Amino acid sequence: MSKKNKDFVEKVTAMEEDFSQWYTDVVKQAELVDYGPVRGTMIIRPYGYAIWENIQGEFDRQFKETGHTNVYFPLFIPESMLQKEKDHIEGFAPEVAWVTHGGDEELEERIVVRPTSEVLFGEYYSKNIHSYRDLPKLYNQWANVVRWEKTTRPFLRTSEFLWQEGHTCHATKEEAEHETRQMLDVYADVCENFLAIPVLKGKKTEKEKFAGAEYTLTIESMMHDGRALQSGTSHYLGTGFAEAFDIQYLDKEGKQQYVHQTSWGVSTRIMGALIMVHGDNRGLVVPPRVAPTQAMIVPIAQHKEGVLDKAYELRDRLKDIVRVDIDASDKMPGWKFNEYEMKGIPVRIEMGPRDIENNLVVLVRRDTGEKEFVAMDDLAERLPALLEEIQQHLYESALKHRENMTSVAKTMDEFKQILDEKGGFIKAMWCGNIECEEKIKEDTTATSRCIPFDQEHISDTCVCCGEKAKEMVYWSKAY
């Protein structure tokens, strides 16, 4: 904690005034990140990392539950290896960092700092898969990756970020497609049930899919300011990498077959969603299930006899039930209130001499600000229930916001008017041609977010060209 934050907590800019500044203020004031010395890199500070560790833990648990094992592949990729899959290199070459020297010597071949690891896994699988009995391979890794971005923002777009990347091989298209969808469902489940972020599930258009994939599935969430954020993607790679890297297996009939592959990833970007879906003008709001500290005890008039003893006693009684902490520092209670509101700790527990006399504490919800008096003996029951209510309330508020921010457009005039007036998701029909997709982006800066699994029939014709519509697409300005 910096001196600044020990002495006073600065206010954040109101989000209605300047959303971008609000975001920057929150990540700084809530002590989530700091800027690294190399452009676009970030330092994830203790509080930010503790949240990330909890997110990691939940994803990792579900990956293992669905049969995946963790591995670690190298940071470095030889240039020639990255070039084996043509679409892939075209997609990534403009944004990679190049290592050209080791110690004093110039390298014979330039090395890429991994922007993603499909090619490394491809090479490995090629050597290690021989028979149908070697399948499926269900690998995941937690790693840092580097993409040399021009404009960067903490969590949302950074030159280096942390993520997990799953890479799997399967005997058949059906199995690989099942895996692609299964992992998207895992992502959606963690977002909705752990992070309280409602998501839309769907498929990316050809234009927006991963470089080298047959198709990309995505989950999309809606931020406070009406922009969408892609929160996780799962790619069906088909046999493209298998052909480029010669990953074949002998099937039960003794025939050589290419494997079908998937890859899927979620990154520290999701921290940006957490901030922009739940935060408010008093700072961060962390849903209870992901919160490193779920309840913070703030003693009032702690110099008075018995107050601190009682506070520690309460902490000890609660600590196996919820993640509880106590701030017994010599700061004023008001400063402590501000600090933990800024950090978005779900519940504050106030207890002063009079409360103790009455065998009561005050619970203050971060999300609504509501206070309630609870008898100390009831706390072990009431506190977990309250945390659950907060979790649900955050999800429902976010869902309501998304619903409010979802509109329908049948013409480009409507489309533009919605974008100008409120932003958010626009449901509109599309002919399937990339020309219309590009024109919409050019005219409005909105992009296709996904072709949702849950299709609706809005009209018969493409919102852009007026030709026969193929499917409904969610459009939005996006991070």
Using CA atoms, how far apart are residues 98 and 107, in angstroms rounded to an integer?
11
Nearest approach, Cβ of 66 to its own copies (angstroms)? Answer: 15
Q: Which stretch binds its own copies (CB under 8 A): 47-55, 309-317, 405-413, 452-460?
A: 47-55
Nearest approach, Cβ of 110 to its own copies (angstroms)? Answer: 8
Instruction: Give the sign of the dihedral formed by CA 266, CA 271, CA 272, CA 274.
Output: positive
Nearest approach, Cβ of 263 to its own copies (angstroms)? Answer: 16
CA atoms within 13 A on the CB side of 156: 19
Continuous segment of H or E residues that includes residue 82: helix 79-82
Using CA atoms, how far apart are residues 463 and 436, in angstroms rounded to an integer?
9
57 is an interface residue for its own copies by CB under 8 A:
no
Instruction: Provide the 3-class DSSP secondary structure of residue 406.
Output: strand
For residues 448 and 207, the answer to whether their CB atoms sit within 8 Å is yes
Instruction: Provide the 3-class DSSP secondary structure of residue 417.
Output: helix
Residue of 11, 61, 86, 127 interacting with its own copies (CB under 8 A): 127
Nearest approach, Cβ of 52 to its own copies (angstroms)? Answer: 8
DSSP code at position 32? -
Q: Output the six-digit token pair for 53.
A: 């560790």
- Window 177 to 216, contacts with its own copies (CB under 8 A): none
Q: Which is nearer to its own copies, 89 or 390 (CB)?
A: 89
For residues 144 and 160, the answer to whether their CB atoms sit within 8 Å is yes
Using CA atoms, how far apart are residues 111 and 88, in angstroms rounded to an integer?
16
94 is an interface residue for its own copies by CB under 8 A:
yes
Query: x/- binding map, residues 7-46, to its own copies, per CB under 8 A?
Result: ---------------------------x-xxx--xxxxxx
Query: x/- binding map, residues 145-184, to its own copies, per CB under 8 A?
Result: -x-x----------xx-x----------------------
Nearest approach, Cβ of 258 to its own copies (angstroms)? Answer: 16
Q: Which is nearer to its own copies, 126 or 461 (CB)?
A: 126
Nearest Cα neighbor of 69 from 163, 146, 137, 124 is 137
Nearest approach, Cβ of 339 to its own copies (angstroms)? Answer: 14
Backbone angles phi, psi at 7, to 5 degrees: -85, -40
Nearest approach, Cβ of 105 to its own copies (angstroms)? Answer: 8
Q: Which is nearer to its own copies, 159 or 447 (CB)?
A: 159
Residue of 10, 16, 18, 76 interacting with its own copies (CB under 8 A): 76
Nearest Cα neighbor of 76 from 134, 130, 143 is 143
Q: Which is nearer to its own copies, 81 or 259 (CB)?
A: 81
Q: Output the six-digit token pair for 439.
A: 């024109």
Residue of 57, 74, 306, 334 interacting with its own copies (CB under 8 A): 74
Nearest approach, Cβ of 120 to its own copies (angstroms)? Answer: 7
Q: Which stretch binds its own copies (CB under 8 A): 77-85, 275-283, 363-371, 434-442?
A: 77-85
Using CA atoms, how far apart are residues 329 and 304, in angstroms rounded to an integer?
14
Using CA atoms, how far apart are residues 305 and 282, in angstroms rounded to an integer?
33
Using CA atoms, how far apart are residues 200 and 218, in angstroms rounded to an integer?
8
Site of interaction with its own copies (CB under 8 A): 1-4, 6, 34, 36-38, 41-46, 49-50, 52-53, 69-78, 81, 93-104, 111, 113, 120, 123-124, 127-131, 133-134, 139, 143-144, 146, 148, 159-160, 162
